[in-house]
Amino acid sequence: MLTYIIDEDVSLRLFTTDDAQALYDVTMASKTYLKEWLGWLDYTTKVEHTAQYIQGTHQALLEQGGYPQTFAIIYKGEIAGTIGFNTLSKAQKIGVIGYWLGETFQQKGIMSKAFHAMIAYGFTDLNLNRIEVRVAVGNVKSRALPEKFGFIQEGQIRDAEWLYDHYVDHIVYSMLKNEWIEGEYHNGYIMKHQS
């Protein structure tokens, strides 16, 4: 199984079909918490829906020539959430990162480590030139990640996403490969690969 070890507690790995129940459980345990900013939760009502999502990540792996697009975030052996490129253009060398973390895994630095790893993965393994994050204006916690890692706030997209009963605007953040190479978060980054 393809795993990227970030440190002794946190790693990223491919989803397996055996992960469906665990991912579904962390999703349902955090449903009320996550629903404020994630518009797909009402469509995940049984473990089979999560299994279909995992099958989709396997299909994307094939389409990307063996390079994973989505990872399970593992914290001390448990699935804590997901992170990956919601969209990925090989032709344009652009990826848009999406992420979420279960409620009980908050405030442990897990997502910062996973986000940092995804930036490096995108610019090195995938050879992207541009990485974007699009996040709802009011989602302060999610906005803090790209801001922490030096992403540039480019602008605001009006009515970018429908969340159950209302639209929300998105802020668009970006980082270019040369900015990452020159930036403080490039140096010292090591992610060990384990098959």
Which sequence spans correspond to the domains of the chain?
3-194
pLDDT per residue as tens digits for the range 180-194? 998 866 654 444 444
Task: Please give the pLDDT value at position 61.
Answer: 82
Banded model confidence at residue 64, pLDDT cuts 50, 70, 90:
confident
Angle at the Cα of 39 (from 38 to 43), degrees rounded to 5? 115
Is the pLDDT assigned to residue 4 strictly greater than 90? no
Burial (0-12, 13-18, 19+ Cβ within 10 Å), 123: buried
| Helix, coil or strand: residue 39 | coil
pLDDT per residue as tens digits for the range 115-144? 999 999 999 999 999 999 999 999 999 999
Q: Give mean pLDDT, residues 45-57.
A: 93
In this structure, are residues 96 and 114 in contact, taking their beta carbons and an 8 Å threshold?
A: no
Torsion sign over Cα 48, 50, 54, 60: positive
Q: What does the chain come to in residues?
A: 195
Banded model confidence at residue 1, pLDDT cuts 50, 70, 90:
low
Which one-letter amino acid corresponds to residue 48? E
Is the pLDDT assigned to residue 195 strictly greater than 60? no
Q: Give mean pLDDT, residues 22-26.
A: 97
pLDDT per residue as tens digits for the range 143-173? 999 999 999 999 999 999 999 999 999 999 9
Is the pLDDT assigned to residue 59 strictly greater than 60? yes
Q: Give mean pLDDT, residues 49-64.
A: 89
Task: Please give the pLDDT value at position 186.
Answer: 62
In this structure, are residues 27 and 42 in contact, taking their beta carbons and an 8 Å threshold?
A: no
Q: Give mean pLDDT, residues 23-30.
A: 96
Task: Choose the CATH number for 3-194 among 3.40.50.720, 3.30.470.10, 3.40.630.30, 3.60.70.12.
Answer: 3.40.630.30
